[in-house]
Each structure stands twice: as structure tokens, then as C-alpha cells.
Structure 1
């Protein structure tokens, strides 16, 4: 939005601000759409199939969270031991 500030007439500056804001919005939406799981791709599919796919996705995410929790849920003493072990290896 800074691009349009101070260039030419106020109408030109306002137009440049609107264009810049629109471009930023569309870039944000494009990046966000690529990153998120899109469940709306199957418009004609059965609701039970969509429910099954979502359930499998969330169970998979829960399993990943448990694995990460097991790997990184450490006490202060375990953290210090891990740091010492990693520094001793180098």
C-alpha cells in the first residue's frame, strides 16, 4: 500500500493503493489455498465418502501429533542430557 503514497494526484495515489491492496489480497488467497487441504474438490461426491476422507485426515494428524509429543515432550533434565549428548558428538 505504500506504493501509491505521494505519487501524482490524489486520485492516482488512491487508484494505486486499491490496485496494490487487491494484488496483495489475491496473492494471499492463492498462497493460503495451496497450503490448506481443500475438501471442496469433489462437488458431486457422496457425503459419506467426504466424511470418511476427513476422518482419515484428522486421525492421521492426531497420530503425527502423538509421535511428535513422544519425541519432544521432555523434562528439563532430559533436555540438558540431550544437549550434552549432542555437543559431545561434535
Structure 2
């Protein structure tokens, strides 16, 4: 939405360029103001989000906090026993 190149006097072209950029910025700000205010979460929503994240982190840590032996057993179940070395 930028106009101003090739229309007579260079000063007029610069003024048109500044004018259209200002108009574009004002249109952008007018459309984004409502979205920014609505999308700002409340304290209760943030608290619920963080509690949910903490719960999920605890679930994942219990699922994936494995010892070396448990990791080897899981690999054996998923892939199979290790292949003998080639010699």
C-alpha cells in the first residue's frame, strides 16, 4: 500500500510515501488494538495455565525418569536385543 514513486516532483513522491506509510500504520494500530486487549490473560487464567503445566511436567517426569537398566529394557522391547559385535 505504498504509493509515491514516479509521480512528478521528488518532494511530492516523498510526501506521498510518508503519507501512505502513516495511513498503513494507523490502520494496523486500529485493527490490532482490540486483539491485544482481548488476548491479555487474566490472573486466574494464568494461574490455571501454570498449574496445568506443573501437573503435566510431573506426569512426564514420572514417565521418563528412567534408570539406565530401565532404558536398556525399553530399548530391548522396542528394537530388540543388541546385535553381536562384528569381528
Q: TM-score, normalised by structure 2?
A: 0.45
Rg comparison, structure with higher value: 2
Q: TM-score, normalised by structure 1?
A: 0.44
